[in-house]
Amino acid sequence: MSDHPPAASPRSAGVERRTAETDIRLTLTLDGSGRADVTTGLGFLDHMLTALARHGRFDLELVCEGDLEVDDHHTVEDCALALGQAIDGALGDRRGIRRFAHAFAPLDEALARVVLDLSGRPCAVVELGFAHSRLGDLATENLTHFFQSLATTARMALHVDLLRGANDHHRAEAAFKALALALRQAVAHDGHGDIPSTKGTL
Q: Which CATH number fits domain 12-186: 3.30.230.40, 3.30.360.10, 3.40.50.300, 3.30.70.2860?
A: 3.30.230.40
- Compute how many other C-beta atoms are within 10 angstroms of the C-beta atom of residue 199: 8
- Going residue by residue through the chain (202 aa), what tens digit of pLDDT does each one get? 344 444 456 899 999 999 999 999 999 999 999 999 999 999 999 999 999 999 999 999 999 999 999 999 999 999 999 999 999 999 999 999 999 999 999 999 999 999 999 999 999 999 999 999 999 999 999 999 999 999 999 999 999 999 999 999 999 999 999 999 999 999 999 988 888 888 888 8
User: Quick one: CA torsion of 187, 188, 194, 196, rounded to 10 degrees?
Assistant: -50
143 contacts 179 by C-beta, under 8 angstroms:
no
Stated pTM of the model: 0.94
81 contacts 89 by C-beta, under 8 angstroms:
no
Q: Where are the domains of the chain?
A: 12-186
| Bridge partners for 179 per DSSP | none
